[in-house]
Structure 1
Amino acid sequence: MLAKESFLLRSDEDSDITEISLLKEIAYFQTKLTNIGEDSDSRVNTMRHVYSTLLDHRKDLLRKIQQ
């Protein structure tokens, strides 16, 4: 497994990916994206990209778990 995939699959609680932990992470990333606002400097754009990517990944994992 690539290091990036390993990082994305890691959860806060004993590396256990559950529906509840994914929902918490989704809420966290949505809050972070909301707090970033509409600024457009390079640091903000990078953070927006990171949070958006992680949010999309968590949503995909949640869909797979719920199927």
Structure 2
Amino acid sequence: MFSDYREEAKLGSDAVPTLTVIAEHWADKARSFVEQHAPKSAIEVLGGHLMFWEHDEKFNQIVEKFIPA
């Protein structure tokens, strides 16, 4: 709660392919935050808190498209 990992997020997105899936209700703020702090992260917007459960087929399609074959 008191840690700031913004620099690590940027370094991580520079070094490792990163996918960030954000909830629709946070899309505007979260997209801006991710673009600023993990600029090389791929971003997808989907559903709400449990998007992997609520939209399992779409979520799996997003992950499968992101992961190289």
TM over 0.5: no
Please state which band the TM-score falls in when normalised by the shorter chain.
under 0.3
TM-score, length-scaled by structure 2: 0.22
Q: Which has the higher contact order (CA 8 A, sep 6+)?
A: 1
Greater per-residue strand proportion: 2
Taking structure 1 as the reference length, the TM-score comes to 0.23
